Amino acid sequence: MTVAFTDLSLGEGIFSRAWDFGDGQASSETNPIHTYAAGGTYTVTLTVTGAGGASSAQQQVTVTALPTATPTVAPPTANFSAVVLDPLSNPMTVSFTNLSAGEGISSTAWDFGDGQGSSEANPAHTYAAGGTYTVTLTVTGAGGQSSAQQQVSVVQPVSANFIFTPIPGNPQSIQFTDTSTGPITLWSWDFGDGQASNEQSPVHTYAAPGNYQVTLTVTGQPGSTPSSIFFPVNITEPIVAAFSIVPVPNDPYSVQFMNASTGPIGQYIWDFGDGQNSADANPIHTYGSPGNYPVTLLAIGTDGVTQNTANDTAVITAPTAEPTVPPEPVIANFSYTADPGDPATINFASSSTGPIASYYWDFGDGAFSTDVNPQHTFAPGQQYLVILTVTGSDPANNNSTQQTIDIAAQATPTTSAPTPAFTLSLPGTSANSIVWSPSGYLMASGNANGSVTIWDVTSQSQFTTLNGHSSGVNAVAWRSDGAYVASGGGDNAIIIWETSGWQPVTTLTAAGSVTALAFNPSGTTLASASADGGIIFWDVATFQPVGQLQASDYVRSLAWKPDGSQIAYGADDGSVNIYNVTTQQPFFNFSVGGAATALSWSIDGARLAVGNSDSTATVYETIGWSPVAVLTGHSQAITSLVYSPSSITIATGSEDGELKLWDAFTGTEQAPSRPAGQSVTSVAWSADGAYVASATTGSNILVWQP
């Protein structure tokens, strides 16, 4: 504030003035103007000096300060974005990014719409359930508060899975039980026989025995990705009980029961209707008195559960008194001839005479017939006493005759060994490892001379040769999309070849001689094993190592589970290890008798087959890891083993020079075996299962039709 002072002093000869403004400032002007820096009450003193001396006067001056303007600060503006981190995860995590603007933001408050919140600047939040959530962000600054809201939709994924169980007593009817997870809105079943269902857990009856691939596809909420899974289902032949009743000659109270049941039957139970029973296949039973007896045959399957029954009535009549006039006698007689196409099959011709009412043939091998002129096939190399009994209308009027039939031993038929569909030749070297391309038109072989040969299977010729290794190539692998071939050799090198121009992309180095290679099903990771027992996981995008394991001995085989979640590896000390790639932790391990030389998963991941140096292979169920089939037939160590694409058949190769095919469910060999000539080094199926190839220590790769 500025104050103007006016001098009102009186007197003559005033020659000086001295102002004291009370704030430490002064002036000698007559009428000064003074500005005070701050409000307050000040004592102002004026001293004048004249000829007669000096005089002073004082006054109180009150100064009021003007108010100071306060600067204006705008409130902040709240804003944010939301991104789902993994749409297939369950539960689902959403990442929130704070995009708020404004000065002096001092606090952040998130409300995720599910009762949860956060004060972090850029939080990530996991929703426990699917749905649409209103997310609110409130920010506070010097200028006040601001809020922003967005709707976030969380779609919970679905995952297909199911189990199946035969209906007791009806092996062709299967109960399918859905075990899928997630908010499922639609179930789509394909039973593999042209039939389908949209029930959650249907029961399906197959019209015929066989192996069927059953697929379940589940659909979730809008925006989610459908999920599918399939398993092979084996349907066995049904059990049908049947029999006929034949009177026993000369014994009116005895009957022969002729069993005509079909199917995989393990046990028979007869109820003769008189309180008596039997477990024989074709029993003879004697009743104590005349009457009508209800006879029941119960046929029980080899599984001990499936069963079927047949019913008939045995009519037993009392013998009649002999007539006073004897009837014309019946005379039994017969001849026989061997069938021209099968000497063990005999055609019988009755030449019996008299009023014959029934014929009863006993072939001497436990078989019977009531035909007039039957045909019967005997086991070769034995003699049989054949008896024909003819009976008239009066059971007492009967006659029998017998002849001894000599069935010559038959020569054992010779079965020629199968021959390959075609042969791929490698002059001057041999293939240590082979693999088909995903398309099935090409094949790669890793050769003992350090080269990799790419074969055109359609023309059965060499397509190109890849050179880069300084010693033998022990392993080759083809990525699932066909873009890369990997080769590993005794020079510790792993070379990645691109298939568009067949040039090397990069060379990776292992700690020892490379013994096995395997791309994971998605093609994002390559696993390599070396002679020192080391296993390395390589990122295919960067070709950098992203993980490593150490086995207890020399590793000969690697096998990824079809869903990519686990990898199995076997070592020479007999250990088989299952490693969970998702959790990066060991999952399970067990031991086999000899070295674990080869591994292969079934397409559904439910079974793992392990080849052994003791010449056998064993199939293990992955639930409980118990053996369910043992493949026995090779005479030397198994070197290679692989499931067919349908997982119905297993192919094995051995040092004994044989390629063998096996029923993957029962472990039964599908004879005959396929001779390769030299020790088999590698076995591989084409993608469509139409061919299986065997490489040997010789110069040929043999391609077979299974």
Q: What is the edge-to-edge ordering of all strands in the sheet holding 196-197?
A: 196-197, 186-190, 210-219, 227-235
Confidence of residue 52 (pLDDT cuts 50, 70, 90): confident
Residues in the chain, total: 706
By DSSP bridging, strand 124-127 and strand 162-167 are unpaired
pLDDT for 430: 96
* DSSP 8-state secondary structure symbol assigned to residue 168: T
* Residue range 692-697: mean pLDDT, rounded: 96
Average pLDDT taken over every residue of the chain:
91
pLDDT for 447: 97
* Residue range 24-44: mean pLDDT, rounded: 91
* Residue range 217-239: mean pLDDT, rounded: 86
Q: How far apart are CA 53 and CA 14, in angstroms?
A: 9
Q: Summarize pLDDT for 602-633 with one digit per residue, the tens.
A: 999 999 999 999 999 999 999 889 999 999 99
Q: Summarize pLDDT for 372-392 with one digit per residue, the tens.
A: 999 999 988 889 999 999 999
pLDDT for 324: 53
DSSP-derived 3-state class of residue 347: strand
pLDDT for 352: 94
Q: How far apart are CA 120 and CA 228, in angstroms?
A: 39
| C-beta separation of 521 from 479 below 8 A | no
Which of 321-330, 335-344, 568-577 has the weakest average pLDDT? 321-330
Q: How far apart are CA 497 and CA 479, in angstroms?
A: 11
In one-letter notation, the amino acid at residue 286 is: T
Q: Greater confidence, 14 or 305?
A: 14
pLDDT for 525: 98
| C-beta separation of 555 from 535 below 8 A | yes
**Buried (b) or exposed (e) across 146-181, using 16+ Cβ within 10 A?**
bebeeebebbbbbebebeeebeeebbbebebebebe
* Residue range 299-312: mean pLDDT, rounded: 86
DSSP-derived 3-state class of residue 490: coil
Q: Summarize pLDDT for 584-597 with one digit per residue, the tens.
A: 999 999 999 899 99
Q: Summarize pLDDT for 100-120 with one digit per residue, the tens.
A: 998 888 899 999 999 999 999
Q: Summarize pLDDT for 398-422 with one digit per residue, the tens.
A: 999 999 898 876 554 445 568 899 9
pLDDT for 557: 96
Q: How far apart are CA 218 and CA 229, in angstroms?
A: 9
Provide DSSP, 325-389. SPPPPPB--EEEEEETTEEEEEEEEE--BSSEEEEEEE-SSS-EE--SS-EEEPPSSEEEEEEEE
| Domains parsed from the chain with CATH numbers | 2-63 (2.60.40.10), 162-235 (2.60.40.10), 243-316 (2.60.40.10), 334-407 (2.60.40.10), 422-704 (2.130.10.10)
* Residue reference for tokens 């006039």: 325
pLDDT for 112: 93
Q: Greater confidence, 410 or 273?
A: 273
458 pLDDT higher than 70: yes
Whole-angstrom CA distances from 198 to 80, 160, 201, 204, 226 are: 42, 14, 9, 12, 14
pTM score of the predicted model: 0.46
Q: Greater confidence, 409 or 158?
A: 158
Confidence of residue 15 (pLDDT cuts 50, 70, 90): confident
243 pLDDT higher than 60: yes
| C-beta separation of 7 from 48 below 8 A | yes
Confidence of residue 66 (pLDDT cuts 50, 70, 90): low
Q: How far apart are CA 259 and CA 633, in angstroms?
A: 36
* Residue range 300-325: mean pLDDT, rounded: 80
pLDDT for 465: 97
262 pLDDT higher than 90: no
137 pLDDT higher than 60: yes
By DSSP bridging, strand 431-436 and strand 170-178 are unpaired
pLDDT for 71: 59
Confidence of residue 677 (pLDDT cuts 50, 70, 90): confident
478 pLDDT higher than 60: yes
- Tell me what percent of the residues of the chain surpass a pLDDT of 90: 71
| C-beta separation of 443 from 691 below 8 A | no
Whole-angstrom CA distances from 136 to 84, 407, 587, 601 are: 17, 95, 43, 49
Q: How far apart are CA 618 and CA 603, in angstroms?
A: 17
